[in-house]
Structure 1
Amino acid sequence: MARRANPAMIGAFVLGAVVLGVAALAVFGGGKFFRHTVKLVAYFDGSLKGMAIGAPVTFNGVKIGSVTDFKVIIDTKNRISEHDITPTAIITTPVYFEIDAGRLYLSTGKKIKLRRDGSGLRKLYARGFRAQLELASLVTGQLEVALNFHADTPLRLTGLSKDVPEVPTIPSSIEKLSKSLEKLPIDEMVADVREALDAINRLANAPEVKAILRDVSRAVVNADTLIGNTDKLVRSVNAEVPALMAQVNKTSESAQTTLKELQAVVSRVGGGAESALAEYQQLAKNADTQLAPLIANVNKVALSADKTLVQAERALVSVESAINEDSPLRYDVVKALREVQSAARSLRILMDYLDQHPEAVVSGKRAEGMR
Structure 2
Amino acid sequence: MNKQALVGAFVLGGTGLLVAAFVLFGNFHPFTRTEKAVLIFHGASSGLAVGSPVTFRGVQVGAVDRVVIEYNPATKDAYIPVYVTMRPDNIVLTNSSHHARPNMAELVRQGLRGEMNLKSFVTGSSEIDLDFAPNTPAVLHPDIAQITEIPTRQSTIEAMTKSFQDLPLRQIGENADATLASVRKLSDQLDRDLPALVQSVRETSDHSREMIDAARKIVTDLEPTLTHTLTSVDRLASTGATQLDARGKELHTVLLSTNDAVRQATKSLANLDSMTSPRSADRANLEASLRDIAAAASAMRGFATDVERNPQLLLTGRRP
TM-score bracket, normalised by the shorter chain, equals 0.5 to 0.7
Contact 2:62/2:86 (<8 A) preserved:
yes
Tell me the residue number matched to 2:44. Answer: 47
Tell me the residue number matched to 1:150. Answer: 133
Of 68, 73, 85, 1:98 maps to 85
Distance 1:229 1:25, change over 3 A: same
Residue 29 (structure 1) aligned with residue 23 (structure 2): yes
Residue 113 (structure 1) aligned with residue 101 (structure 2): yes
Partner Cα separation in structure 1 for residue 144 and residue 53 of structure 2:
22
Instruction: Spell out the pairing of 1:290-329 with structure 2 (5 A cutoff).
Output: none
Contact 1:113/1:120 (<8 A) preserved:
no
Partner Cα separation in structure 1 for residue 215 and residue 147 of structure 2:
92
User: What is the CA deviation profile of residues 61-106 of structure 1, one whole-angstrom value per residue up to 9, with x for unaligned ones?
Assistant: 221111111111111323xxxxxxxxxx111111111122123345
Q: CA deviation at 1:159?
A: 1.2
Residue 262 (structure 1) aligned with residue 259 (structure 2): no
Q: CA deviation at 1:46?
A: 1.8
Unaligned runs of 5+ in 2: 1-11, 255-320
Contact 2:110/2:134 (<8 A) preserved:
no
Partner Cα separation in structure 2 for residue 109 and residue 219 of structure 1:
93
Letter aligned with residue 156 of structure 1: V
User: What is the CA deviation profile of residues 220-243 of structure 1, one whole-angstrom value per residue up to 9, with x for unaligned ones?
Assistant: 83698389669959x969x77877
Contact 1:104/1:112 (<8 A) preserved:
no
User: What is the CA deviation profile of residues 173-223 of structure 1, one whole-angstrom value per residue up to 9, with x for unaligned ones?
Assistant: 333333323322222222221111112211221277436743774388369
Partner Cα separation in structure 2 for residue 164 and residue 184 of structure 1:
38
Secondary structure of the residue aligned to 1:260 is helix
Partner Cα separation in structure 1 for residue 158 and residue 107 of structure 2:
26
Residue 75 (structure 1) aligned with residue 59 (structure 2): no
Of 173, 194, 209, 1:225 maps to 209
Contact 1:105/1:112 (<8 A) preserved:
no
Contact 1:44/1:92 (<8 A) preserved:
yes
Contact 1:68/1:97 (<8 A) preserved:
yes
User: What is the CA deviation profile of residues 274-299 of structure 1, one whole-angstrom value per residue up to 9, with x for unaligned ones?
Assistant: xxxxxxxxxxxxxxxxxxxxxxxxxx
User: What is the CA deviation profile of residues 138-190 of structure 1, one whole-angstrom value per residue up to 9, with x for unaligned ones?
Assistant: 10000101112334432211113454200101233333333323322222222
Of 128, 138, 159, 2:142 maps to 159
Letter aligned with residue 143 of structure 1: S
Tell me the residue number matched to 2:157. Answer: 174
Instruction: Spell out the pairing of 1:222-371 with structure 2 (5 A cutoff).
Output: 225=209, 246-266=231-251
Distance 1:131 1:219, change over 3 A: farther
Partner Cα separation in structure 1 for residue 207 and residue 34 of structure 2:
84
Partner Cα separation in structure 1 for residue 126 and residue 163 of structure 2:
21
Of 155, 163, 183, 2:166 maps to 183
Q: TM (normalized to structure 1)? A: 0.52
Question: Cα RMSD over matched residues?
Answer: 4.1
Contact 1:53/1:67 (<8 A) preserved:
yes
Tell me the residue number matched to 2:273. Answer: none
Letter aligned with residue 263 of structure 1: G
Contact 1:58/1:145 (<8 A) preserved:
yes
Unaligned runs of 5+ in 1: 1-17, 79-88, 270-371
Distance 1:224 1:147, change over 3 A: farther
Residue 124 (structure 1) aligned with residue 110 (structure 2): yes
Q: Percent identity?
A: 23
Distance 1:104 1:230, change over 3 A: farther
Between Structure 1 and Structure 2, how many residues are aligned? Answer: 235
Tell me the residue number matched to 1:210. Answer: 194
Distance 1:75 1:267, change over 3 A: closer
Partner Cα separation in structure 2 for residue 37 and residue 134 of structure 1:
23
Letter aligned with residue 57 of structure 1: V
Partner Cα separation in structure 2 for residue 261 and residue 180 of structure 1:
99
Letter aligned with residue 90 of structure 2: R
Tell me the residue number matched to 1:61. Answer: 58
Distance 1:150 1:209, change over 3 A: farther
Partner Cα separation in structure 2 for residue 232 and residue 131 of structure 1:
84
Partner Cα separation in structure 1 for residue 198 and residue 243 of structure 2:
64
Partner Cα separation in structure 1 for residue 207 and residue 131 of structure 2:
68
Tell me the residue number matched to 1:38. Answer: 35
Tell me the residue number matched to 2:278. Answer: none
Secondary structure of the residue aligned to 1:102 is helix
User: What is the CA deviation profile of residues 257-312 of structure 1, one whole-angstrom value per residue up to 9, with x for unaligned ones?
Assistant: 1112222445688xxxxxxxxxxxxxxxxxxxxxxxxxxxxxxxxxxxxxxxxxxx
From the CA coordinates, give the structure whose radius of gyration is larger. 2
